[in-house]
Amino acid sequence: MEVRDFARQLLFGESLSDKLAAPPAGTLRDDDPGPPMEAPDAPGRPPQLAFRSDRPPVRFPHASRLGDPSAAVTALHSFANHELLALELMALALLRFPSADPRFRRELIATMRDEQRHLAMYLERIEELGGRFGEHATSPFFWDCLAHTDTVDAFVAGMSLTLEQANLDFAVEYAAAFRAVGDERTAALLERVHREEIAHVARGVQHFSRAHPDTPLWEAFVQSLPDPLTPRRARGNTVDLPSRSRAGLPESFVQHVRVYAHSKGRRPILYVWNPACEDEIAKGPHHARAAVVADLEHDLETLPLLLASEDDVVQVSEAPALSWLATLADAGLPLPRFATPEEAATLEVERVAPWGVSPAFPQWSETLRPVFDKRWSADWLGRLHDDLQKRSGGRLLPGDALPTLVHDADDAWRRAKALRSRGFPHVVFKQGLGASGRGQLRLLHEPEPTTSQWGWLRRHGPSGLRVEPWLEREADLSFHFDLDDAGLHPRGVVSFTTDRGGRFLAARVGSPTAGLPGPVRRFLAGDGKDTRWLDRVLAGLAALAEPLWDAGHRGPVGIDAMVALDPRDGRRALQPMLELNPRWTFGRLALRLRGRGARNGWLRLVSPDDAPGLVAAGAVALNDPQRARRVVAVWDRG
């Protein structure tokens, strides 16, 4: 039998026996390949297996349900259709590329015989489980992707190095899933498919090695891969490294596959790290950065990866190292695409999402400026305090501890003296705009301001300061919301730590009360008598929705709070709004990690010298320690 006739039988046959019939070994000839053939709209198939738009797709069953025979049949039906599609596409390739390298054609026929065997095994197992091949709709996805490829390279890149490479992962994953529900027979079937799939991927590697001996495999692969396939399709939920090594895939190629991210169809959101957004608002987008701020902008620009999905893009100044991205993939973090500003400028995006909106971004409005000012949150705390105090059952700091607003150095000192006269010995003055730990002056044990402190008050007083007690804090908390046209929606509570100057150090990823002192935990739990009081306070803060909306803000809102001791009576109390941040925050990043399944640990900022030890102990570096100048963000999972 001629190869051409064998291929036509597989491609156009209208019965499963046509698809499964193979000529006896040694009888297949390739003396008359014939002319190139155009791809048909669809392969020949029995009516129950034809591609039909009127049959809705069946939802693939969760792994935990595979012990149910009907769920197992649904999964195996999908696997069998994939094998059938692979057979048909390989037959089509023989007909479309009759002048291809004879070695390629021989290897393709060997692969097709494996695929026939895989299909037969799946069909047998479906019948054993009481199912029938054709009882569910069959997806034409593989056909739509590869039927019209116009080069052998494109076909091999799509079939061998993408779809079959991904099956290295899926076969292992589902073999383990079937074994977990006690189905050893199906598990063994998938393990055999997996072993033979390694050889199929190896043939793809060998093809590119012969066809492009001087081009790195990754480069040749990406250049050849037909739309709509992307390298993301070349891996499963986990990446089976040993199988890829046995298939001869270079380590650098595998790293590229592991970390590749690309939108699956929707326009991506472009995330931009601009931690100096408050400075941009106060001083303009092109102001000179202090060295510490410039280093933070450089070091932590990859942090929005925790906010993004795999379909999104994070803007970075330079492409991240593959070795570092691989550590994120190993940790199970979904990886977005990373793009330089020049690359990002060429993308069609759904929207740009900065860390914080500022005049550097088109969605900026001058109506937003007051919302970023600490005096705005102080004003609203004063307005809401009585209601929040009632909601809390009297657990907030009293009204005489609230911040007040001044516009003059002498008035600031008078307010400080008034606080001291009421029993608050320590006082802090805060500028309206400034990141945490910056733009503030503390008056602690000084009987009156020093010369330099007077200078600070006189420089910043005219632009407005808030004056409040500097209290002995027992816990820092942050409350997180999202604002949309339906209101302010609570997203969670995070506990965090700061240094003595109020600069962020770490946020707890797990339960916000875990690790807090027992008295603080009991306080937040209402001493067992009123466990929902904090929820009522959060509900009361929803009153901020209207003024935030009217100012033009949309998106994340973070409110920093603290549990502190009133120095006059030692009573424990909540200050519910130290600061309001109409932007993303480190606490929100910790909350995103929690939302991705993390149940313990910390999101920490550490020095580049300390990061390697933490990583060696199991932490995940969220920016590349090798490139960091001043700080590394780590997810400490301990």
Q: Which of 486, 505, 500, 432 is nearest to 462 (CA)?
A: 432
Average pLDDT rounded to a whole number, residues 412-440: 87
Architecture of the domain delimited by 371-589: 2-Layer Sandwich (3.30)
Strand 572-581, strand 620-621: pairing: unpaired
336: confidence class by pLDDT, cuts 50, 70, 90:
very high
- Reported CATH class of domain 61-258: mainly alpha
In the predicted model, is pLDDT for residue 502 greater than 90? no
Average pLDDT rounded to a whole number, residues 227-240: 90
Over residues 277-319, the pLDDT tens digits come to 988 898 887 778 888 889 999 999 999 999 999 889 999 999 9
pLDDT score at 55: 73
User: CATH 3.30.470 region(s) of the chain?
Assistant: 371-589
pLDDT score at 332: 86
Average pLDDT rounded to a whole number, residues 596-608: 89
DSSP state of 10: H
Strand 313-315, strand 404-406: pairing: unpaired
User: CATH 1.20.1260.10 region(s) of the chain?
Assistant: 61-258
- CA 302, CA 117: separation in Å to the nearest integer? 46
- CA 544, CA 262: separation in Å to the nearest integer? 37
Average pLDDT rounded to a whole number, residues 164-176: 96
CB 598 within 8 A of CB 510: yes
Average pLDDT rounded to a whole number, residues 2-19: 94
User: What is the average pLDDT score of the chain?
Assistant: 93
pLDDT score at 265: 60
In the predicted model, is pLDDT for residue 435 greater than 60? no
434: confidence class by pLDDT, cuts 50, 70, 90:
low
- CA 504, CA 275: separation in Å to the nearest integer? 13
Query: 0.85 cut: is pTM over it?
Result: no
* % of the chain at pLDDT higher than 90: 84
Strand 487-498, strand 572-581: pairing: unpaired
